Amino acid sequence: MNIFQNVREYLTPVLSESGFVTDGVLTPEEFVAAGDQLCYKCPTWRWEGGDVSSRRSYLPPHKQFLRTTGVPCRRRVTSLEQDYIGETTVEDDNDWLETHNQNKHVEDTAERMHHISLDGGSPTSASQTNILSALVDEHFQVSAARGPPTGHANASSPPDLSAFDDDDNLVDDTDEATLTYIATSEPEPTELDADGNLVYTRTYDVSISYDKYYRTPRVWLFGYEESGAPLKPDDMLQDIMQDYANKTVTIDPHPHLTGIPHASIHPCQHGAVMKRIVANLMAGGKEVRSDQYMFIFLKFLQSVIPTIDYDYTIDVEAKSS
């Protein structure tokens, strides 16, 4: 962080009362509880303490930030963006597509995120929607296991989040052998770039810190070539949707890993986005808890880094009130 950011964070008081519903933000205690849930349900994530000199007193010494390593990135994000050239979203109550419009620019981050749809039903075909709505629709679909959607579902109804309905805020005691986890493997390079060259798998270390000023999680990325060599900053930006690269995503020092520059997703709009998503869920009669924050948060961030396959394996589900 630069001097201004350090001073700004230092002068910002620690949030002591929950603003999860009203502002989409977390207290440090809520951040830790949400991180505990993420680590419990997605074991590829773990807590770390980082450099002792960089530890924040308002967080437990060994729970300064969350981290998952060796996350595969099998294709460059440009290959996704090319699939959607010529398609833009025209804003109205139902968000519809205007195709082959090469002159309009994508909305800024706040506006695009404010129009995230949590509609249930069948996933929209990738050829019929733009990249942002396609990703969000995929992440927030109601599980097919609960039965096929009806043709007359309320378009404003958020998904059923009942999988979080655990009496002790954790999963029920279950035979570990029956639990389902995602195991990554090293794929063969089958993706081709525009010139017909093979695209090899990159890997990323993804970490989540608590931003005291914005009072939300903040994501940090550090990438490696398939050979294990660190990616240059400009190379990491190749794996980020270009509407965000160098705008809401910048290269900054990690707050807990001194001297190591990371690609950072700026948290200035995180609270507003989370507030809207939570409000939509609650408007449908769903109960959403603050310790579920990380799962929803990581899902909406896939619109920024859609080809980095970090683990958020459980569905975004909550019980009806």
In this prediction, residue 124 carries a pLDDT of 40
Kindly tell me if the per-residue pLDDT of 2 is higher than 90.
no
224: CB partners within 8 A, 6+ apart: 202, 203, 204, 205, 230, 231
Q: Which of 270, 256, 255 is nearest to 301 (CA)?
A: 270
Of the two residues 260 and 142, the one the predictor is more confident about is: 260
Please state, in angstroms and rounded to a whole number, the distance separating the CA atoms of residues 228 and 100: 40
Please state, in angstroms and rounded to a whole number, the distance separating the CA atoms of residues 102 and 114: 23
Kindly tell me if the per-residue pLDDT of 29 is higher than 60.
yes
Q: State the chain's mean pLDDT as an integer.
A: 74
> Considering the domain boundaries, does residue 308 fall inside one?
no
Q: Which of 241, 305, 300, 255 is nearest to 274 (CA)?
A: 300
Q: State the pLDDT confidence band at 166, using cuts at 50, 70 and 90.
A: very low
> Considering the domain boundaries, does residue 315 fall inside one?
no
> Considering the domain boundaries, does residue 101 fall inside one?
yes
Q: State the pLDDT confidence band at 286, using cuts at 50, 70 and 90.
A: confident
Please state, in angstroms and rounded to a whole number, the distance separating the CA atoms of residues 286 and 113: 21
Instruction: Count how many domains the chain has.
Output: 1
Q: Which of 259, 217, 222 is nearest to 240 (CA)?
A: 222
> Considering the domain boundaries, does residue 312 fall inside one?
no
- Residue pair 19/30 in contact (Cβ under 8 Å)? The answer is no
Q: Which of 274, 270, 286, 273 is nearest to 158 (CA)?
A: 286
DSSP state of 213: T
- Residue pair 242/132 in contact (Cβ under 8 Å)? The answer is no
Identity of residue 298: L
- Total residues belonging to the chain: 321
Kindly tell me if the per-residue pLDDT of 83 is higher than 70.
no
Q: What is the pLDDT of residues 215-233, one digit of tens each?
A: 999 999 999 999 999 999 9
Kindly tell me if the per-residue pLDDT of 156 is higher than 50.
no
156: CB partners within 8 A, 6+ apart: 119, 280, 283, 284
Q: State the pLDDT confidence band at 197, using cuts at 50, 70 and 90.
A: low
Please state, in angstroms and rounded to a whole number, the distance separating the CA atoms of residues 52 and 62: 10
Q: Are strands 65-73 and 202-211 parallel, antiparallel or unpaired?
A: antiparallel
> Considering the domain boundaries, does residue 313 fall inside one?
no
Q: State mean pLDDT over 10-15.
A: 89
Q: State the pLDDT confidence band at 198, using cuts at 50, 70 and 90.
A: low
Q: State the pLDDT confidence band at 70, using cuts at 50, 70 and 90.
A: very high
> Considering the domain boundaries, does residue 33 fall inside one?
yes
In this prediction, residue 242 carries a pLDDT of 85
In this prediction, residue 315 carries a pLDDT of 58
- Residue pair 73/223 in contact (Cβ under 8 Å)? The answer is yes
In this predicted structure, which of 179-183, 205-209, 296-300, 305-309 has the lowest mean pLDDT?
A: 179-183
Q: Which of 287, 295, 297, 300 is nearest to 315 (CA)?
A: 295
Q: What is the dihedral of CA 165, 171, 177, 179, to 10 degrees?
A: 50
Kindly tell me if the per-residue pLDDT of 181 is higher than 60.
no
Of the two residues 4 and 175, the one the predictor is more confident about is: 4
Question: Which positions are catalytic?
Answer: 268
Please state, in angstroms and rounded to a whole number, the distance separating the CA atoms of residues 222 and 202: 11
Backbone angles phi, psi at 287, to 5 degrees: -100, 120
Q: What share of the chain has pLDDT > 70, as a percent?
A: 59
- Its pTM stands at 0.67
Tokens of 205: 């270390």
The parent domain of residue 273 ranges over: 3-303
DSSP state of 266: -
Q: State the pLDDT confidence band at 298, using cuts at 50, 70 and 90.
A: very high
> Considering the domain boundaries, does residue 292 fall inside one?
yes
Locate all alpha helices (DSSP H) within 148-236, ordered by sequence.
233-236
In this prediction, residue 205 carries a pLDDT of 98
Q: State mean pLDDT over 19-26.
A: 97
In this prediction, residue 183 carries a pLDDT of 44
Q: State the pLDDT confidence band at 165, using cuts at 50, 70 and 90.
A: very low
> Considering the domain boundaries, does residue 96 fall inside one?
yes
Tokens of 104: 């309009």
Of the two residues 305 and 160, the one the predictor is more confident about is: 305
161: CB partners within 8 A, 6+ apart: 281, 286, 287, 288, 292, 315, 316, 317, 318, 319
Please state, in angstroms and rounded to a whole number, the distance separating the CA atoms of residues 74 and 147: 32
Q: State mean pLDDT over 280-309.
A: 92
Q: State the pLDDT confidence band at 92, using cuts at 50, 70 and 90.
A: very low
